[in-house]
Chains A and B, each alone.
Chain A
Amino acid sequence: QSVLTQPPSVSGAPGQRVTISCTGSSSNIGAGFDVHWYQHLPGTAPKLLIYANSNRPSGVPDRFSGSKSGTSASLAITGLQAEDEADYYCQSYDTNLSGSYVVFGGGTKLTVL
């Protein structure tokens, strides 16, 4: 059971727009911690896609965008391409009485139809 909740899967046809949600709580996203997104192809190194809620690292296409509101965040992909088929993870921080620690969503598998 992941601290951050993502849909297990989403799908879309080439050229379409898809969104992936990431739902947290008042101890993580709602506490003001930033949300970061990663793209992961099995057998490869995960890649930072969006950082600090809505910022793209150099080299990431502007088809990818992120947003955050309250205790949730979203990743949007427009103009879907076959190469976008991958697993996507959100990441933030959580803090409780025992300390603070990194938390990930359970991951969302994107299928390009």
Chain B
Amino acid sequence: EVQLLESGGGLVQPGGSLRLSCAASGFTFSSYAMSWVRQAPGKGLEWVSTFSNSGGGSTSYADSVKGRFTISRDNSKNTLFLQMISLRAEDTAVYYCAKCSGGSCYGDRFDYWGQGTLVTVSS
């Protein structure tokens, strides 16, 4: 059974940093692209970032987080990360870890999601 378990959320002041983790199990983690998707309070789903296995491992980011967020993964520990710096109030959201159905997320779907972890940016 595929399981994705996010952790690391919490309350942080504007300008602060936070590192999210997503522990994966039930599939060969290293073979699949992984992504982060967020949902701000009262809003819809917003793609944040993807770590693809194609091209030796490529990353992509939404314009809203580019230069502030860094996605990474540790295949030996089946874990996906999202390092977030210079956090803003508008980054407040539930952050979901999502598995792509292939090694590249290009044009692809998210076939499994975690339950999410809440990040609140406020003074």
Q: A residues bordering B, Cβ < 8 Å?
A: 2, 33-34, 36, 38, 40, 44-48, 51-52, 57, 87, 89, 91, 93, 98-107
Tell whether A45 pairs with B109 under 8 Å between CB atoms, given A99-B60, A104-B44, A107-B45.
Answer: no
CB-defined contacts of A46 to chain B, threshold 8 Å: 37, 45, 96, 98, 110, 113
Among B13-21, B24-32, B75-83, B99-107, the one that faces the other chain is B99-107
A47's nearest neighbour on chain B, judged by CB, is: B113
**In the complex, are the beta carbons of A48 and B46 less than 8 A apart?**
no
Q: A51 to nearest B CB, angstroms?
A: 4
**In the complex, are the beta carbons of A101 and B62 less than 8 A apart?**
yes
**In the complex, are the beta carbons of A48 and B47 less than 8 A apart?**
no
B115 within 8 A of A: yes
Tell whether A102 pairs with B101 under 8 Å between CB atoms, given A34-B109, A45-B115, A107-B45.
Answer: no
**In the complex, are the beta carbons of A45 and B114 less than 8 A apart?**
yes
**In the complex, are the beta carbons of A103 and B101 less than 8 A apart?**
no
**In the complex, are the beta carbons of B44 and A102 less than 8 A apart?**
no
Instruction: Tell me the dominant secondary structure on chain A's binding face.
Output: strand
Q: B residues bordering A, Cβ < 8 Å?
A: 4, 35, 37, 44-47, 50, 60, 62-63, 96, 98, 101, 105-107, 109-116
CA gap between A45 and B30 in the complex, in Å: 22
CA gap between A98 and B64 in the complex, in Å: 13
Tell whether A102 pairs with B50 under 8 Å between CB atoms, given A33-B107, A48-B109, A52-B109.
Answer: yes
CA gap between A93 and B94 in the complex, in Å: 22
CA gap between A102 and B110 in the complex, in Å: 10
Tell whether A45 pairs with B96 under 8 Å between CB atoms, given A34-B107, A51-B111, A102-B50.
Answer: yes
Instruction: Give 14 A-B pairs besides A103-B47, A104-B44 with Cβ atoms closer than 8 angstroms.
Output: A45-B96, A45-B114, A45-B115, A46-B37, A46-B45, A46-B98, A48-B111, A87-B44, A91-B110, A100-B106, A101-B62, A102-B105, A104-B37, A106-B44
Q: Which of A48, A89, A101 contacts B44 (CB 8 A)?
A: A89
CB-defined contacts of A57 to chain B, threshold 8 Å: 111
Q: Which of B45, B101, B112, B115 contacts A104 (CB 8 A)?
A: B45
